Amino acid sequence: MIVMSAASRTLTVVAQPKEASPASAVASANQAASAGTGSGSGLGSTTGSAPTPVVPPDPGTAQSIAYNLLGSFGFSTSQFSCLQDLWNRESGWSYDAENPTSGAYGIPQALPGSKMASAGADWQTDPKTQIEWGLGYIKDVYGSPCAAWNSELANGAY
C-alpha cells in the first residue's frame, strides 16, 4: 500500500498482509502517515489537513455510512481519517455507547444524547441518524473533522 502524507508530500510504502481487511488497511495507513510527526498530534494538523484514505471502510459499517456522508456535509474524504480517529476514541463507533460519568451517548457522544433527536426520532438506535447529527455538529462548531480531532487532542474532548 502507498500512503501520501499531505504535510510532507512524501510517499510511504506500507506492507500489508494478504488477509488484512480494508478497515485495518485504513488504520495501518493512518498510523504510517502519522508516524514521525514528533508532535503527538496524530493525523490532525493545525491546518485541518489529513492524508486521503487509501481504502474506503467495509460496506455496511458505521464507518462506511460516515465515509459516504462526508460529501453531503461539504467534507472531502481526506477528512475521514480524522473522523475515524475521533469517533474511535469517543465511542468505538458504537451506536449505544454511553459515558457512565457524563451520560454522553452514541457514536458522536452527544451530551445530552437527546440532542440527536433533531436528526431523527430513531437517534437512540440508528447509527446513520447519529452520524448525520455528529457531522452537522462538527461542521457547525469546528468546520471539519480534522479541526474537531485537533480539539480532541488538545483538550481531551471535542
User: What are the pLDDT digits (tens) for 12-58?
Assistant: 333 333 333 334 343 433 333 333 333 333 333 344 555 554 478 99
Considering only residues 39 and 126, tell me which one the structure prediction assigns the higher pLDDT: 126
pLDDT for 54 = 46
For 45-94, the pLDDT digits (tens) are 344 555 554 478 999 999 999 999 999 999 999 999 999 999 999 999 99
| Residue range 101-112, pLDDT digits in tens | 999 999 999 999
Going by the DSSP 8-state scheme, the letter that residue 60 receives in this structure is T
Tell me, what's the pLDDT at 121? 98
Q: What is the pLDDT of residue 123?
A: 98
pTM of the complete model: 0.68
Question: Which positions ≥6 away from 57 have C-beta within 8 Å?
Answer: 22, 23, 26, 63, 64, 66, 67, 80, 84
CA distance 68 to 70: 6
Residue 49 confidence (pLDDT) = 53
User: What pLDDT is recorded for position 56?
Assistant: 86
Mean pLDDT of 118-145: 98
All residues at 6 or more sequence positions from 14 whose CB lies less than 8 Å from its CB, including other chains: 1, 2, 3, 28, 29, 32
Q: Nearest 5 degrees, angle CA 54-CA 40-CA 32?
A: 25
* 1 pLDDT higher than 70: no
> Does the pLDDT of residue 130 top 60, yes or no?
yes
Read off the C-alpha cell for 41.
498530534
